[in-house]
Amino acid sequence: MQEMVLQEILNMKSADYPRNLLSIDDFDDCFSDVIKWAISYKMDEEAQRDFKPLDGMAIGSIYEKPSTRTRVSFEVGITRLGGQPLTLSKNDIQLGSSESVADTAAVLSRYLDGITYRCFGHDAVSELAEHATVPVINALSDLHHPCQAAADMMTILEKRKPDQGHIAWVGDGNNVLHDLMLAAAMCGFDIFYATPKGFEPNQEVLDRAHRISAKNGSKILSTNDPFEAVTNAGVIYTDVFVSMGEEHLGGKSDVFQGFQVNDSLVSNARPDYMFLHCLPAHRGDEVTDEVIDSPNSAVFDQAENRMWAQMSILTLLCNEPAWTTYRDLV
């Protein structure tokens, strides 16, 4: 009898711990609370001074790709939460080369209380999470960018409601769009994306987003016409046409002729529309200076919110009792 009880406890631990964030719908049960937590903490100077839920914890961040916003936002956010950030480039460790991913995950789990991983292929972060015994956060892969989606929806929800116009995406059907669709569906926002033919989002991710939107009463629409997507939009979002690691795809940018977000395009949106871009922006390519520097642009609020959203994510995954306590207080 005692052996059966112990096995049930072990099964609970293996099922519930560690909790990882590989795509934003991993938080389907709590995403709205994650965003509310981040917004509240951002405004709460007393909590920022006194509440240190990562005190005594070390969080390691692995980078296969160079980064500005991801690295700085994680390092500063971890430090503000009382933790110790440790940044590792691909040249610092033998991940997947002279040491298997499984062994690296096991070793790092003995030293660290959490791991963030910015990688090329999504299989890499999935394999790391499979073998780690501490929480793993996908800081960007070719398939998903959940931390960006959390910052995106935080920025939108700080200023807009679902009935103030849909979210329009103009550009490539990439990792940013994937998690934006999932996040918008979880928050009840309609999203209308415009991509060139042949550059639509991943079908499996799209199917997941449709299931969530059906549950929450929102819509996901698609077109190959940017003007159709942005008509009456409350939010217009774009990203670079050629992502990091795609530089070898010569001529890809030519496919996006007519997809630039400029004054002509945004004139079809609501006058109070919000412009978003995950940055870095290639000014003059996917967006003009006039749009990204306009009063409608929230790109730097969005960049700042990477830190606040990630602080909520880190606290939830690495110290859930503390995250829950603060959530219940606010």
Q: For the residues of 49-63, what is the DSSP string, one character each?
A: HH--TTTT-EEEEEE
Catalytic residue among 148, 260, 302, 310: 148
Q: At 88, phi and psi to the nearest 5?
A: -125, 120
The answer to whether residue 266 is domain-embedded is yes
CATH of residue 20:
3.40.50.1370
Pair 161, 136 in one domain: no
The answer to whether residue 330 is domain-embedded is no
pLDDT (tens digit, 9 = 90+) per residue, 214-239?
999 999 999 999 999 999 999 999 99
Catalytic residue among 147, 187, 278, 318: 278
The answer to whether residue 278 is catalytic is yes
The answer to whether residue 30 is catalytic is no
Pair 245, 170 in one domain: yes
Catalytic residue among 26, 69, 71, 118: 118
The answer to whether residue 328 is catalytic is no
The answer to whether residue 110 is catalytic is no
User: 232: alpha, beta or left, given left = phi > 0 and alpha = psi -120 to 50?
Assistant: left
Domain coverage including residue 29: 2-145+305-320
Pair 159, 22 in one domain: no
pTM of the model: 0.93
The pLDDT of residue 8 is above 50:
no
Pair 183, 282 in one domain: yes
The answer to whether residue 306 is catalytic is yes
Comparing CA positions, the residue from 127, 114, 120, 235 lying closest to residue 181 is 235
State residue 250's pLDDT score.
58
The pLDDT mean for the chain works out to: 92
Pair 118, 99 in one domain: yes
Q: Are strands 191-194 and 114-118 parallel, antiparallel or unpaired?
A: unpaired
Catalytic residue among 172, 306, 310, 318: 306
Pair 257, 127 in one domain: no
Pair 93, 238 in one domain: no
Catalytic residue among 69, 71, 144, 145: 145
pLDDT (tens digit, 9 = 90+) per residue, 56-107?
999 999 999 888 999 999 999 999 999 999 999 988 887 777 888 899 999 9
The answer to whether residue 145 is catalytic is yes
